[in-house]
A and B are shown apart, each in its own frame.
Chain A
Amino acid sequence: MLKFILKRILMLIPVLIGVMFVVFLLAYITPGCPARVILGEAASLEAIAQLREEMGLDEPFLVQYYNFIINAVRGDFGNSYRTQRPVFQEVLDRFPNTMQLAAMGIVLAVVIGIPLGIISAVKQYTPFDFGATFIGLVGVSIPNFWLGLILIMFFTVTLQWLPPTGFREPLQWIMPTIAIGTNSCAIIMRMTRSSMLECIRQDYIRTARAKGQKESVVIFRHALRNALIPVTTVAGLQFGFLLGGAVLTETIFAIPGLGSFLVSSILNRDFAIVRGGVLLIAITFTVVNLAVDILYAFIDPRIRSQYR
């Protein structure tokens, strides 16, 4: 098992170097010179040339990329073009809000999605199942940024119950959590349902029933345990996707997280921030995926055995 984990961590390194390359390349091909963004349109050509020199922007592409990686490993992503504060600090300041939002979203999705999926599978082809399946399809399809707007229209404009924006008090957490969690909730529900249906048809379930065990024991001890293996994976992957999807939700609810900061940095052409922010989310996403893989192998011996 330890060998498997080590192997997966080692496999991560080339992927991360590749991600850094993509992020670096994107900032590199962006039209417009960073020195001009920092100094403003009125700056003299000499000043710009000097700053370019200082920032190493005149070096060849590969040298710049090498410097970027070396500095990044040390935690140095340069300074924000706008505020001149270190990118690392700026990005890290906002990250907790994004993590909190994604975490609340995934908790909502799991707490509602898994029970609904179980009931739906156990009561297959009943009105409850059809209703849940339909709601699941709607939930998968609804764009989360539109859902956020609809929530604001309903709870703020019509009912005047909740504040439209902000993220300080628990009352302000309600709408963003629903907006970001609904898609994942529907996906987890559908996954739980189909996975439960597969398990319920297995021979060992028939055996358990034939032994005369109570239906609740059959469902929860025998079927659910196996059914949750793929669901765990999906929930983990969804958490990663929520980190990325937070960009839109944060923009709508004016949440001071990494996502909305990324958007405002893009619009202000502050590509030092964009580079650092995208990289941080990508690294978190990759680490979450790795954790999911390891967890998957941990709870499913069939996968573990392939790495011996």
Chain B
Amino acid sequence: MDNTTTPRKKQSQFKEVWRRFRKNPLAMVGLVIIILMLIFAASAFLIAPRDPVTGLQGYNLQDWTNARQFPSSENIFGTDHQGRSMLARLAHGARFSLLVGFVVVGVGMTLGVTLGSLAGFFSGTVDNIIMRVADIVLAMPTILLAIAIAAALGPGLRNVMIAVGIGAVPSYARIVKAQVLTVREQEFVEAARSCGASDFRLITKHVLPNCAAPVIVEATMGMAGAILSAAGLSFIGIGLQSPTPEWGAMLSEGRQWMLAGYWHLTLFPGLFIALLIFALNMMGDGLRDAFDPRLRGAGGSARRFKKMQLARLKAESESGGR
């Protein structure tokens, strides 16, 4: 790490990350799938516009004479038990899943990063309160917590986001706190403080930018988790509900026709969930390698690695030793 002037270094660091990211074929495949999914979701209203006469949503146009058609050149994903086009429903489903993913990650990250940096920067009572609450939330398996919250709040898009989002906050808080603990002791923070920088400025200008890498990686992976949890909630009937074409809800509907041999009703919604999760995981993996090539294990001296691992273990045991 040779730093010449500050602004140039910042720019070149992200260029460097992108350069490494681009070389990773799996990560690029992930990125391409995500872009395709975004396009698919954005074109949902083109593929299946609202019916001008009845005012019904494009994903809810029933055609009982064409119910449960297998995939054909006319309907590439077939039709469901009410004769609705699976293509239309899958496209609108992409909209809901991506929306849930982005909102949950956005809100979870904002809250988690704020709480985590407060806990890391002001050790003591603030830290204790925040991290103990995080412990409580983390004391329940993510999906179970989401189920419990969704059960209490009732079904619906907003409630699903809340149910999935609450479980997402502590992991960001933990990561940021651990990172802040290592960063705040460094000389450039001390230097900034001696120049009279306020706590707020120290956190936002000096400490947080150094936490960006792990947070971005966690956000990518966390989005996969959020989409999966939301689909799971809809699947067991306490998330988004029919006729909303959420992928998990579609799976739960299709499941009833599975034993009768209508495989396409179960195969496609799940395939889209799996594809999106797969893409996000690959991108997350690629980002982590790009941000920190040492983790690939290819280069880097053993001593440097040991030092890093020790810091990580320390940070972990500090925050409850998990």
Question: Which residues does A use to contact B, with CB under 8 Å?
Answer: 8, 11, 14-16, 18-19, 21-23, 26-27, 29-31, 134, 137-138, 140-143, 145-146, 149-150, 152-153, 156-157, 164, 194, 197-198, 201-203, 240-241, 243-245, 247-248, 251-252, 262-263, 266-267, 271, 274, 278, 281-282, 285-286, 289, 293, 302-303, 306-307
Give B26's nearest chain A residue, CB to CB: A137
Interface set of B (CB-CB < 8 Å, partner A): 26, 132-133, 135-137, 139-144, 147-149, 151-154, 224, 228, 231-232, 235-238, 248, 251, 255, 258-259, 261, 263, 266-267, 269-271, 273-274, 277-278, 281-282, 285, 295, 297, 302, 305, 310, 313-314, 317, 320-322
How far, in Å, is B36 (CB) from chain A's closest CB? 16
Q: List 7 A-B contacts (CB under 8 A).
A: A18-B135, A137-B26, A153-B258, A198-B297, A241-B142, A289-B139, A306-B317
Min distance, Cβ A283 to any Cβ of chain B, angstroms: 9
- Inter-subunit contact B259/A157 (CB<8 Å): yes
Quick check: B282 and A245 within 8 Å, CB to CB? no
In contact, A198 and B139 (Cβ under 8 angstroms): no
Contacts of A153 in B (CB 8 A): 258, 263, 266-267
Are the CB atoms of B228 and A30 closer together than 8 Å? no
Chain B contacts for A149, CB-based, 8 A: 251, 255, 258, 266, 270
Question: Do B141 and A240 touch across chains, with their CB atoms under 8 A apart?
Answer: yes
Partner of A266, one of B238, B258, B321: B238
Q: Check if A146 sits within 8 Å of B270, measured CB to CB.
A: yes
Residues A164 and B259 in contact in the complex (CB < 8 Å), given A31-B154, A143-B277, A306-B314: yes
Tell me whether A18 and B270 are in contact (CB under 8 A).
no
> Are B282 and A18 touching (Cβ within 8 A)?
no
Return chain A residues, CB-CB under 8 Å to B141: 240-241, 243-245, 281-282, 285
Describe B's contact surface by its main secondary structure: helix
B-side contacts of A278, CB under 8 Å:
140, 144, 147-148
Give chain A residues whose Cβ lies under 8 Å from the Cβ of B261. Answer: 157
List the A side residues contacting B278 at CB < 8 Å: 137-138, 141-142
Q: Give the CA-CA distance A31 to B278 in the complex, in Å.
A: 37
A156→B248 CA distance, assembly (Å): 22
Q: Pick from B237, B261, B274 the residue with the most CB of A within 10 Å.
A: B274
Q: A149-B266, A251-B236 are in contact. Are A201 and B144 (CB under 8 A)?
A: no
A243 to B143, CA, bound (A): 10
Decide if B140 touches A247 in the complex (CB within 8 Å): no
Q: Which residues of B contact A156 (CB under 8 A)?
A: 259
Q: Chain B residue with minimal CB distance to A296? A: B321
What's the minimum C-beta distance from A86 to chain B, rounded to whole angstroms?
A: 21
In the complex, are the beta carbons of A266 and B147 less than 8 A apart?
Answer: yes
Give the chain A neighbours of B235 by CB distance below 8 A: 145, 248, 251
The reply to whether A18 and B136 contact each other, CB–CB distance below 8 Å, is yes
In the complex, chain A residues whose CB is within 8 Å of the CB of B263:
153, 157
Q: Evaluate contact between A142 and B274: CB separation under 8 angstroms.
A: yes
A303 to B153, CA, bound (A): 41
Best-surrounded residue of A134, A149, A198 (most CB of chain B within 10 A): A149
Distance from B31 Cβ to chain A, minimum over Cβ atoms (Å): 14
| Docked pose: A275 CA to B124 CA in angstroms | 33
Q: Which B residues are in CB contact (< 8 Å) with A31?
A: 154
Nearest CB of A to B315, in Å = 12
**How far does the alpha carbon of A134 sit from the alpha carbon of B30 in the complex, in Å?**
12
Q: Whose C-beta in chain B lies nearest to the C-beta of A186?
A: B281
Q: Known pairs A8-B321, A22-B136, A146-B270; list 6 more (Cβ under 8 Å).
A: A15-B135, A18-B135, A29-B153, A153-B258, A157-B263, A285-B141
Q: Are B151 and A274 in contact (CB under 8 A)?
A: yes
Nearest 6 pairs between A and B by C-beta? A244-B141, A146-B270, A18-B136, A141-B278, A244-B144, A26-B152
Q: Which residues of B contact A267 (CB under 8 A)?
A: 237-238
Q: How far apart are the CA atoms of A244 and B255 in the complex, in Å?
A: 22
Contact: B274 with A146, CB < 8 Å? Answer: yes
Residues of A within 8 A of B228 (CB): 143
Contacts of A14 in B (CB 8 A): 132
Given contacts A143-B277, A282-B144, A303-B317, contact A137 B266 (CB under 8 A): no
Q: Is the CB of A143 within 8 A of B232?
A: yes
Question: For residue B139, which residues in chain A have a CB less than 8 angstroms away from its CB?
Answer: 15-16, 18-19, 282, 285-286, 289
Q: How far is the CA of A251 from the CA of B141 in the complex (A)?
A: 17
Provide the bound-state CA to CA distance between A303 and B269, in Å: 45
- Residues B142 and A244 in contact, CB atoms below 8 Å apart: yes
Could you say which residues of chain A place their CB within 8 Å of the CB of B320? Answer: 11
Q: In the docked arrangement, what's the CA distance between A203 and B236, Å? A: 51
Task: Give complex CA distance A157, B282 in Å.
Answer: 32
**Partner among B148, B273, B277 whose Cβ is within 8 Å of the Cβ of A23:** B148
A137 to B25, CA, bound (A): 14
Q: Is the CB of B273 within 8 A of A30?
A: no
Nearest B residue to A195 by beta-carbon distance?
Answer: B297
Contacts of B232 in A (CB 8 A): 143, 145, 248
Which residues of chain B are within 8 angstroms of A289 by Cβ–Cβ distance?
A: 139, 322
Q: List residues of chain B with CB within 8 A of the CB of A152.
A: 258-259
